[in-house]
Structure 1
Amino acid sequence: MIKVAMTGVYVDDVAAAHAFYTDVLGFETRTHMDLGDGTLFVTVGAAQGAQPDLQLLLEPGQGPVAEPYHRALYEAGIPCIVFSVADLGAEYERLRGRGVRFTHRPRRQGPVLAAVFDDTCGNLVQLVQPED
């Protein structure tokens, strides 16, 4: 069976993204390597081993492919990634209390409740809560 092991998200600044995704969102560091010349290889994942095999690679968003793609997603208002939460209302309030800027409050979108926030690193991120 094929499983997702890692997915990447382009960020403006890997170190700043690492701090946001761990200190603010609550992810844990899985890999943090200095590759030289100021290049970092950083992955994060869900805390407390919720998804031990799945990692999010925080990729430098500079370059001829990354920059236009990264910018176009943001300018179009398209989230670069979607995270699932058990209680969107509680997570929305927790993150707002930590200074996270949401582009829209939790609202019904088809079969889920959804909210979108700015990750401070050039991306919009969507949180969803499946409705039972």
Structure 2
Amino acid sequence: MRITLTSVLVDDQDKALRFYTEILGFTTKHDIPMGEHRWITVVSPEDPDGTELVLEPDSHPAVKPFKEALASDGIPFTSFAVDDVQAEFARLDALGVRFTQEPVDMGPVTTAVLDDTCGNLIQITHQAG
């Protein structure tokens, strides 16, 4: 068994696609019209055949209160691995990304938390070898 898809719930698929590709650096794998919404997935350019991130519309009534509760408590919705949290923080900060937690060294793990502009907090992490 392996993970092939995972989702992030977004309030605007166009805005999310721009943020996740133009700012975070993912590449679009699928962008297929599906009625009111689209099936949009992005992947890491370092692993184009790896796990796909679905930019899932957050239109279900249960989603908005869930997302608001996580964000208000400062809890990231998901986490992405990076090679260097400090360098990625500097790159994204220069692009205007808002961080709710600047890089923190926690021993074997360094983390930072950013706002994806689509209603989610996203953690970036690096685990020391």
TM (norm. structure 1) is 0.92
Which residue type is aligned with residue 34 of structure 2? L
Q: Secondary structure at the match of 2:96?
A: coil
State the 1:110 CA deviation: 4.9
Taking the aligned partners of 1:104 and 1:75, their CA distance within structure 2 comes to 13
| 2:34 paired with 1:31 | no
> Which position in structure 1 is the counterpart of 2:42?
44
Paired with 1:109 and 1:46, the residues of 2 have a C-alpha distance of 25
Gaps of 5+ in 1: none
Matched, 1:80 2:77: yes
2:88 is equivalent to residue 91 of structure 1: yes
The alpha-carbon deviation at position 51 of structure 1 amounts to 5.3
Pairwise mapping of residues 1-132 of structure 1 onto structure 2 (< 5 A)?
2-37=1-36, 39-48=37-46, 50=47, 52-132=49-129
Structure 1 stretches of at least 4 aligned residues deviating more than 4 Å after TM superposition = none
What is the alpha-carbon distance in structure 2 between the residues aligned to residue 106 and residue 81 of structure 1? Answer: 16
Query: Unaligned regions of 5+ residues in structure 2, if any?
Result: none
The Cα shift of 1:36 comes to 2.1
- What is the aligned-residue identity percentage? 41
RMSD of aligned Cα (Å): 1.3
TM-score normalised to the size of structure 2?
A: 0.94
